[in-house]
Structure 1
Amino acid sequence: MNIAVETPLDLDLGLTWRNRFAGLGSTFYTNLQPTPLPAPYWVGHSAAMARELGLDPGWLSSDAGAQAFTGNAPIRGAQTLASVYSGHQFGQWAGQLGDGRAILLGEVLGAHGQGLELQLKGAGRTPYSRMGDGRAVLRSSIREFLCSEAMHGLGIPTSQALCITGSDAPVRRETMETASVVTRVAPSFIRFGHFEHFAARNQLEPLQQLADFVIDQYYPECRHSQAFGGNPYAALLQAVTARTAELIAQWQAVGFCHGVMNTDNMSILGLTLDYGPFQFLDGYNPDHICNHSDDQGRYAYDQQPNIGHWNLFCLGQALLPLIGERDYALAALESYKTIYPEAMARGLRAKLGLLDAQPGDQALAEGILQLLAQEHVDFTIFWRRLSHWVAKTPGNAPGTAPNAVRDMLVDRDALDAWLLQYQERLAQVDTALAGDLMLKTNPKFVLRNHLGEQAIRLANQKDFSGVHTLLALLETPFDEHPGYDTYADFPPDWASSIAISCSS
C-alpha cells in the first residue's frame, strides 16, 4: 500500500510580508510566477542585507535558498508580479515599458521595521518583455550585485542586492552567455515612468491613486505641507526634486556615471536604480561617456545634473493634472537649481576637508577639478592621496605636499600653485578633523570596470572568489584593508578598452 507523503507547496522563509504595492490593484501590474532555471548555483550574497531582512545568512548557502531566489520555488507570503510603466529613453518617448525581466516577490518588514521590496531580476518573460527573453546574464548580474552594495558602502542612496545565483542555461546577447538572477532590495521600485504611464493614457484615477500611495507611504509630510497652498502633489514633486538633486550631487562628487538615465530608471525615492552601463571614473574627464550605446553623449558624466532636471520635468508634466496649477509645478522644479549646486558645493568641501563654507571655496574646488581634467588624472587615487596628506599633517601647518600627491600631475607648477592656495585655506581649520573628514569622504576602493571584469572572468569559470573579495572591500570602501592595495591601484592599460553597453 502506497501512502502519499504531503510535501510543502512553497518555502517559508520566516519573513513578514505585507505587499502594499500589490494592494493598488491589477491596473498597476500583472500577477505571474517566475520562470524556473535549471540547476541553479550560488554566486554570492550579502550577509549584511540578509541580517537586515531577518534571514539567516547561512541559509543563503543552501540549495533551498538557491531555488527560492532563482525563482524556482514559490515563497510563502510572496505575491509575485511585474509592474507596468512607461518612459522616455534617450530623450524620446518610448511608450509602454514595464518590468520586462524583473518580478517583484513582495514587501517584507526589515529588522528595523521598515518595508523592503524584494525583486528577482532575470526571472523570465513578463507581459512587458517586448520581444526580450526576460533573462539577465551572469556578467551584468555580478556588476549590479557589486555596485548596489558598493554605492551603499559609499553612503549613496541606492537599491541594494541580497544575493545572486547562476545557471548554465544559455542566454544570447552579443555572444552566448549564461543566465543569472540577482535579488534586488529597495523600499520601493516605483519610478518616474510609473506616473508617466498613466498620465500619457489620461488615466487620472490610477494616476492619483499612485500619487496618494507614494505620498502616504513614503512622503507623509507632503500631505500636511502648507507649501503651494497646501497642494500635496506639488509638495511631492518638490520633495522628489530635492532627493534627486542630492543624489546626483553625490554621484558627481564620487565620480559615478550611471550611463542610462532614462525616466523609467529614475526612482521616485531618489535612489540609484538599475545598474546597467555604469562606471566609476578612472581618469577625470568631465565629458566621459560610459555607455557604449550612447552615441550622442546624452548621458555623459558632466550631463548627469542637467538630465536629472530634464527627467524631473517629465515627472512634473505627469503630475500636472493632479497639481492643477502650472506655476506650482514650475516652482517645485525650480528648486533643483538651488538644491543641486548647494549639495555639490557641500560634497566638494567635504572632499577638501573644509568644515565650514568660506567665499573662496567654490573657486578652490573648481581650480583643482580643472587641473585634474586637463591631464585626466585618476580621480579616486588623487583624492585619496590628498586625504592622507592632510590627515598626516600635524597641527595647522600643512607644509609641502609629498611627491605622492605632486606626482599625480605632469604640470607640477600649476599643482603647486593650487596647493599653496589650499594650504592657506587649511590653515583656517583643524587639520586633524579635516583629514578625518576627507578619509571618510574620499574612498580608497570603488568598483572600477576592470575589477568587475576580472571578477566576471573568474566567475565564468565557476570561481566566485573575485566577487566575494570585491564585496568585502566595497562594503567598507573607506577602510584601508591592508594586503589589498592592488584593488586600489591605477587601472591597467587594457581597462580603457572595456566597452559597457545597455546589453545585459
Structure 2
Amino acid sequence: MKTLSTLTFANSYCDLPDTLGTRITPQPLDNPFLVHFNPLVAEKIELTSITALDPSFVDVFSGNATLVGLSPLAMKYCGHQFGQYNPDLGDGRGLLLGEVITSNSIKWDLHLKGSGKTPYSRTGDGRAVLRSSIREYLASVAMEGLGIATTHALAIIGSETPVAREKIETAATLIRVTESHLRFGHFEYLFYSGQHAELQQLADYVIEHHFAELATTDSPYAEMFKQICHRTAIMIAAWQAVGFAHGVMNTDNMSILGLTFDYGPFGFLDDYDPHYICNHSDYSGRYAFDQQPSIALWNLSALGYALTPLLDKTEIDHGLEHYQHQLQQQYSHNMRQKLGLTLTNDVDSVLFSDLFQLLQQHHVDYSLFFRTLSYITMTDLPHSCSLFSELFPCTSDLKKWLDRYQQRLLLEPNDNQRLAVMQQHNPKYILRNYLAQQAIEKAQQGDYKLIDQLMTVLARPFDEHKHAEVFAQLPPHWGKHLEISCSS
C-alpha cells in the first residue's frame, strides 16, 4: 500500500491527438474538507486508507494543490442526447487527472468530477454539488455490491463554495476511479468531425490498453466492436434483472467497457412498473426502465455508424446481432437465478411473463418480492401467501402463481441449493431514492453517519446485517414519488 505521493502515475491519454482534449488545471474550492472516503476503492489503486487523513489529500482533490506526475485533461467528445446529435459536448465539469499504475500493471483512471469550468462547460459553472456527488458515491458502491460493472468513487470532498441550481447549494468534488473514461461519444466526435485517421488511432489505443488479446486477430476493429456489444449486453441484462434504471442513456454516457457510467437521475424500482421513468426531465419516456435494452441497441448502432471508416456493414450488423443474442441469453440466465431454476423449460417464458404481470397489476415491490420468495422451501410454497401480506393487498392471484412455480420446481433435478442461490441473486438492500435523499439531507447538516451505514449494507447487499433492517423495509409513500432531475 502506498501514499498519494508514492503512487505510480501515467498519462497515456495525453499521447492521443490533441483534438481529444484540453490540458487544464482544476479550479480551487473554498475551505474544502473530506466528506467521505472509500477504503475498498483505495485498495484497488493500492492507496493506504490513512492517506485520507493527510491534509494534502483534500488539497489535491479540491484543486488547491497539484500532484507531481498528473497531467489534468478535460476530454472532448460528443454524442446523441435524447436521440439528437450534439457536437458541443465534453468534460464540462470534470477532469481526467491521470492514471494510477498498480504493481500488477493495472491502469486506473483518476477523474475529478466538479473541478470547475473547462472549454466544454458551455453555459455551466463546471461544478458538482454535494447532493449529486453523494448519489453517485453511494450508487457506485451499490452497483459493485450487486456484481454489476461500474465506475467507482474514492472520496467526496465538500466545500463552502456556493453554486446555483434550483436553489443555492454547496459545491463538491467526486474522485472517480475506473478502468477507462472513454465513451461511445469519443468515436462519434472523431467521425462526425471528419478526423478518421485520429479515429483509427483511438481504436488502436482502446485495443492496446483494454482489448490486447484482439490485436492479433484477423479483424481487430470488428472484434473490438463485438466486445463492446458483448459487455453492453451483460450490463443491460444486469440492470433489468435487478431493477435499475439509469435515466440518461445518451451515447456520451455509454462506456466502451460496458461500465455503468455517469450516474445522474438513476433509480431502482420500488413497485414493479416496467414503464418507470426515473428522470424528471425525460418527458417522452425515452429512457424508461423497459426501454433500456432497445436504447442500448440504438446507441450501439450509433457507435457502429461512427466506426464505418474501420468496419463494413456486415461487421457492424454482426456485432449488433451479438448484442441482442447475448442480452437475451444473459437476462434469461439472471432471471433463472432469481427464481432458483437451473434447467430451461418451455413453460418458463409464460411463468416469467405472468409473474411480471402479477407484480405490475398489484403494484408489488420488486426487490422485496424476490427476497421473500428466496426463503420459502418448495414444500412450504402452497401455504406461504401470508408471508407476502405486506406486499399484496390480495393474495388469491399470487396463490395461483405460487402453485405453478412449485410445479415447475418439481422438474428440477435437485432443490437442495435453490434457496442459497436465490439469496445470492436477490438483494435484501438496494439504494432506494428515499434512502439516498435521507443521506443527502443529513450530510448537508454535517452528519455523515447515514452514508457510513448505507455503505456497509450496499457493499454486501445479499447478506443479513444486524441492526440494519430499516434499510430493507418498504419505502414510505413519499419515498416512491421523489422527482430526480439531471441537475448536478
TM-score after normalising by structure 2 = 0.96
Alignment pair present for 1:487 and 2:477: no
Q: 2:321 aligns with which of 334, 340, 353?
A: 334
Aligned residue for 2:308, secondary structure, equals helix
Equivalent position of 1:131 in the other structure? 123
Alignment pair present for 1:185 and 2:177: yes
Distance 1:216 1:356 in 2: 39
Distance 1:28 1:186 in 2: 19
CA displacement at 1:111 relative to structure 2: 5.7
* 1:169 to 1:407, Cα distance in 2 relative to 1, 3 A: closer
CA displacement at 1:348 relative to structure 2: 0.5
Alignment pair present for 1:223 and 2:211: no
Q: 1:29 aligns with which of 5, 21, 30?
A: 21
Alignment pair present for 1:233 and 2:225: no
Given that 1:106 and 1:118 are in contact with CA atoms closer than 8 Å, whether structure 2 keeps it comes out as yes
Given that 1:71 and 1:120 are in contact with CA atoms closer than 8 Å, whether structure 2 keeps it comes out as no
Equivalent position of 2:459 in the other structure? 475
After the TM superposition, which of the residue ranges 397-406 and 477-486 deviates more from structure 2?
397-406
User: Structure 2 regions of 5+ residues with no counterpart?
Assistant: none
Equivalent position of 1:415 in the other structure? 398
Q: 1:447 aligns with which of 418, 431, 436?
A: 431
Given that 1:387 and 1:438 are in contact with CA atoms closer than 8 Å, whether structure 2 keeps it comes out as yes
After the TM superposition, which of the residue ranges 371-380 and 296-305 deviates more from structure 2?
371-380
CA displacement at 1:220 relative to structure 2: 2.2
Query: Once the two structures are superposed, what CA deviation does each residue of 1:42-88 show, in whole Å capped at 9, x if it has no partner?
Result: 11111111122111112213322111222221112111111100000
Aligned residue for 2:369, secondary structure, equals helix
Distance 1:60 1:407 in 2: 43
Given that 1:252 and 1:301 are in contact with CA atoms closer than 8 Å, whether structure 2 keeps it comes out as yes
Query: Once the two structures are superposed, what CA deviation does each residue of 1:462-484 show, in whole Å capped at 9, x if it has no partner?
Result: 11111111111111111110111
Query: Once the two structures are superposed, what CA deviation does each residue of 1:295-341 show, in whole Å capped at 9, x if it has no partner?
Result: 00000000000000000000000001111x21221122122221111
Q: 2:49 aligns with which of 57, 68, 72?
A: 57
Distance 1:260 1:283 in 2: 21
After the TM superposition, which of the residue ranges 60-69 and 437-446 deviates more from structure 2?
60-69
Query: Once the two structures are superposed, what CA deviation does each residue of 1:445-502 show, in whole Å capped at 9, x if it has no partner?
Result: 1110000000000111111111111111111111110111011101111113311001
CA displacement at 1:190 relative to structure 2: 0.0
CA displacement at 1:406 relative to structure 2: 5.2
Matched residues, percent identical?
A: 46
Given that 2:116 and 2:127 are in contact with CA atoms closer than 8 Å, whether structure 1 keeps it comes out as yes
CA displacement at 1:234 relative to structure 2: 1.6
Distance 1:112 1:49 in 2: 16
Distance 1:425 1:20 in 2: 54
Distance 1:200 1:17 in 2: 32
Query: Once the two structures are superposed, what CA deviation does each residue of 1:269-320 show, in whole Å capped at 9, x if it has no partner?
Result: 0000000000001110001100000000000000000000000000000001
Equivalent position of 2:10 in the other structure? 18
User: Structure 1 regions of 5+ residues with no counterpart?
Assistant: 1-10
Alignment pair present for 1:316 and 2:316: no
Distance 2:342 2:227 in 1: 27
TM alignment of 1:374-389, pairs within 5 A: 374-389=361-376
Equivalent position of 1:365 in the other structure? 352
After the TM superposition, which of the residue ranges 409-418 and 254-263 deviates more from structure 2?
409-418
Aligned residue for 2:173, secondary structure, equals strand
Distance 2:153 2:448 in 1: 16
* 1:110 to 1:12, Cα distance in 2 relative to 1, 3 A: closer
RMSD: 1.5
Alignment pair present for 1:195 and 2:187: yes
Aligned residue for 2:175, secondary structure, equals strand
Given that 1:52 and 1:111 are in contact with CA atoms closer than 8 Å, whether structure 2 keeps it comes out as no
Distance 1:276 1:474 in 2: 18
Equivalent position of 2:201 in the other structure? 209
Aligned residue for 2:355, secondary structure, equals helix
Amino acid at match of 1:350: Q
Distance 1:148 1:424 in 2: 39
Q: 1:356 aligns with which of 343, 346, 354?
A: 343
Query: Once the two structures are superposed, what CA deviation does each residue of 1:138-160 show, in whole Å capped at 9, x if it has no partner?
Result: 00000000001110111000001
Equivalent position of 1:299 in the other structure? 287
Runs in 1 of length 4+ with deviation above 6 angstroms? none
Aligned residue for 2:57, secondary structure, equals helix
Aligned residue for 2:6, secondary structure, equals coil
Distance 1:157 1:382 in 2: 24
Alignment pair present for 1:275 and 2:281: no
Q: 1:403 aligns with which of 365, 381, 386?
A: 386
Distance 2:16 2:454 in 1: 39
Distance 1:451 1:335 in 2: 37
Given that 1:13 and 1:55 are in contact with CA atoms closer than 8 Å, whether structure 2 keeps it comes out as no
TM-score after normalising by structure 1 = 0.93
CA displacement at 1:39 relative to structure 2: 1.0
CA displacement at 1:217 relative to structure 2: 1.3
Given that 1:51 and 1:111 are in contact with CA atoms closer than 8 Å, whether structure 2 keeps it comes out as no
CA displacement at 1:245 relative to structure 2: 1.0
Q: 2:236 aligns with which of 240, 243, 248?
A: 248
Distance 1:414 1:359 in 2: 22
Distance 1:429 1:319 in 2: 47
Aligned residue for 2:256, secondary structure, equals coil
Alignment pair present for 1:257 and 2:257: no
Given that 1:53 and 1:111 are in contact with CA atoms closer than 8 Å, whether structure 2 keeps it comes out as no
Given that 2:429 and 2:471 are in contact with CA atoms closer than 8 Å, whether structure 1 keeps it comes out as yes
* 1:161 to 1:407, Cα distance in 2 relative to 1, 3 A: same
CA displacement at 1:34 relative to structure 2: 0.5
Distance 1:453 1:248 in 2: 25
Query: Once the two structures are superposed, what CA deviation does each residue of 1:338-381 show, in whole Å capped at 9, x if it has no partner?
Result: 11111110111011011232332222222211110112210111
CA displacement at 1:222 relative to structure 2: 2.7
Given that 2:108 and 2:179 are in contact with CA atoms closer than 8 Å, whether structure 1 keeps it comes out as yes
